[in-house]
Structures are given as structure tokens and as C-alpha cells.
Structure 1
């Protein structure tokens, strides 16, 4: 009788242990997470950078910031004003592009002042990297990027992908968006969820001016009447507290805020 070949362990059993010669399998128990160590992320998807107030690390960080950083030792009210000017009140227009079906999608954004009376010649485009400098700056500025800016999107696909990649903690911070024309058509047709389901604290929804323009009844009403119908529709769906603004396109300026 020919000798039997040694048993070759299947790669499918990497998560199991072999007991005795009868090759019984028992699934390994997952390692329990050490609850004494803080998680790097909160349940809402945002980073957890909290330090215990009485910990040695907090004392070292506070002392270092107060002695070595002229910016961080300023009063909190002054720092907040600086952060507002640095990362807030911008129109951030996001676009996704690809050179083919098999090519990766490349994200890019155009940033400009939110208010049209700003001097574009002296405008310095922010990089929104301030929150990466240190733990304290992350705590004080990361939420402002979403709360104080208006986000516009080139096409419904761009908006869908961008929202899908945002953690729930980030989506809860977004207050103002400019919606593409084709996305608003899907929304009004019932093919997209309510904005308050995706963005629970939304306060302003910007609508492309093409929406009321193509919604006019031929020879029956004016553009203002068509705009009012759009406003009434959105407020009925999203609530009276939501403000409806207007924008021309991603390359144009918002007409209202």
C-alpha cells in the first residue's frame, strides 16, 4: 500500500485550529479590544483626539502651547475669529473626473470667497490643512470646514459619491450646499432621499437657476412664480426652517446666501 501523502492544510482554514488526528476544527475567538485604550475614531466616524484634563499629556501639551506658540496662547475668542477667516466663508466647488471606465476617479475642487464683493485679486486659496498641525487645532478647526462653507458639485454623480464618503459626524456639520441641476430633477421626481436624511442639520439648499427656468409654464407665469413653486416644494419636503438659495452654475457666483 502506497504511503499516504501528508495532509495539506487548506488556506481556507487559516482562521481555525486543528485538534488531534481527527482534524476537528474550532473557530478561534476574536481578540477582545482593550477598553482601557481610547478608540481612534468615534462612532460617528470622526477622530477622537480627546485627552483627559488631568492627564500628564494634557499638562505637557498645555504648557508647551502656552509657552512656545504665540497663536495658541491667544484667548479662545480671538483664535476662533482667526480660524473663521482661515477656513470659513468659502464656496468649495467639487468635481470628479476620469479618463476612462478603468481609470480611477480624480477629485478636485475650486475654492473662492463665498461673498461676491471679496477682492479676488488678493484672495489666497486656502488648503484646509490647518487641522493637521496639532491636536488642539484639530479640535478647534475641523468642524468649521464643514459648518462655515458652502459646497457645490459638478453633476449628480459627484454629489452622490462625495456624500457617500463622508462620515455621519461630518454630514451632521454641513449647513449649506449648492445642488446640481440634474440632481434636483431626480430629487423632485422622488428618485433621491430628502436632504435632511443625508444632511441632518442642513440650513440652506442652493438650487440651479435652470430649474425654475425650465419649470415655467409656457405663456402662463413668470420666472418668479416658477421660483416660488420650487421654494414651496423644498420647504414642504425639508421644513420651513430650510432656506432656499439660487446659483447659476459651478463657475458662477451664488445669487443669494
Structure 2
């Protein structure tokens, strides 16, 4: 069996497409653009990926449709799914992407490895939930921030929280509505005696549209007066930002 290098095989495919294009010109004028588009796409791949333009909020800009994607957008417009009313489509996206507790942690080990789910209907977790956003431009436009607005984000430790801030886009942080932090993380930012450098004033500051914050892992061994003092500091932060504050043991 003859083996071809990837580059040789790609060139052979381009040659075949060129031959098909000539045949298409003779047989059907409508077929020529389709074949030419496929040949052009393979030719572009040799030059490397095209530049992706982003908005100031970090999301991909959809203001202008690239010429090579115009036929794709036209095909999407006749998709049965995308022809549904917008309200129904949003409900479908929220059902797929929302209603989860997303753990943000830098810890490793068997306990933190996302292999199994508590849900009896889903015995194994998948890592491609966000593949939906890559299906087409319209779906991306409707779902780009849904993961952040429809789920509860749980931060385990300060390093995980700060890495999350560094790796997310402004639009994603703006969309976050519910978050859970542990007591050490919250106290690191709000305790008046802590003089160590902090990247934000408090954990709520990076999320302007946050509605609910939950603080977990309050120690039952703390003195009653200390617990009351800590709770007062947390409530002050919440009331200053108009948040619903919940504290769980």
C-alpha cells in the first residue's frame, strides 16, 4: 500500500477539486461555485487560520460575515431548529447549558476529577458541553454568556478564584449571577486586618450583575462572637452591593 504524507494528500485533494471544478463548469454552472468554495477553503488552510476579531467585552465579533461563510449563514437560516421562535430556542439553550453547579478549583486528585455525576441519568460527565457554541454564528450569538448566567459557580480557594478572573472575558464575568465561595476566600478579601495585596476589593467586585453569593464551610468551633463578627462583615458587603447573602455550615 502506498503511503502519502499529509501535505501530499492535501495537494492531491486540491488537484481533484480543480478537476471537478472544470467538469462542473461544463456540466452545471450552479455546481462550479460549490466546488470552487471547497478548493478555496483547502487553499486557505495552507496559509494558517484566519484572524478572529473580538469585541471590547472579549466575545467574538459577529458584525461582519466573512465572504466564505455567507453560504453557511444562508443554509443556517433554513434550519428547522433555528426557525423556531427565539423564546423557544433560548429555553432549549438554557436546558442544555444551565442548572449546574460548576466547581472552580486548582486542586487535583481523585476527589476533584470530573469522571462521574450524581445524576442517575448521566453516569459520566462530558467535557464538550460548550461545543454547542461552536456550531454556528447564530447559536454562538444566543449562547455566548448563557453558561455564566444560568449556573452557580463555586470557587474553592483563592488561587482558583484569581485564575478564573484572569482567564475569563469581561462579558462572561458580567453575565455571572450566582457564586459560592468558601470562608477562607471571603475573609481574605474582606477582613480589615488582612494587609496582603489583593487583585480586587472583594469577591463580588468583578461581577457587576451578581445577584446571590453563598459562603460555605463556616466552622462550628468558632466562638459565637467571632461568628457574629464575620457574618456582619459579609452582610455589609452584600447589602452594599444589593446582593442576597446566604451562609452555610
- TM-score where L is the length of structure 2: 0.62
CA distance in structure 2 between the aligned counterparts of 1:194 and 1:136, rounded to whole angstroms:
36
Q: Which structure: greater strand fraction?
A: 1
Q: Out of 163, 166, 175, which is 1:164 matched to? A: 166
**1:166: how far off?**
1.5
Let me know the Cα RMSD of the aligned residues. Answer: 3.5
Q: 1:108 to 1:164 in 2, by over 3 A?
A: farther
CA distance in structure 1 between the aligned counterparts of 2:235 and 2:60, rounded to whole angstroms:
38
Matched, 1:232 2:235: yes
Matches within 5 A, 1:112-131: 120-123=119-122, 125=125, 127-131=129-133
- TM-score where L is the length of structure 1: 0.61
Q: Which structure: greater helix fraction?
A: 2
Deviations 1:75-113 (A, max 9, x none): 2111111001000121101221469xxxxxxx976897x
Aligned match of 2:93: 83
Matches within 5 A, 1:1-257: 40-51=53-64, 60-67=71-78, 69-97=79-107, 120-123=119-122, 125=125, 127-190=129-192, 191=194, 192=198, 193-210=201-218, 214=222, 216-217=224-225, 229=232, 231-236=234-239, 238-239=240-241, 241-247=242-248
Gaps of at least 5 residues in structure 2 are 1-50
Q: 1:207 to 1:198 in 2, by over 3 A?
A: same
Gaps of at least 5 residues in structure 1 are 1-37, 100-106, 113-118, 249-257
Number of residue pairs matched by the alignment: 189
Q: Which moved more, 1:41-50 or 1:148-157?
A: 41-50
Deviations 1:208-244 (A, max 9, x none): 14168736228xxxx7x678635532234x42x2111
Contact map agreement 2:54 2:61 (CA 8 A) in 1 = yes
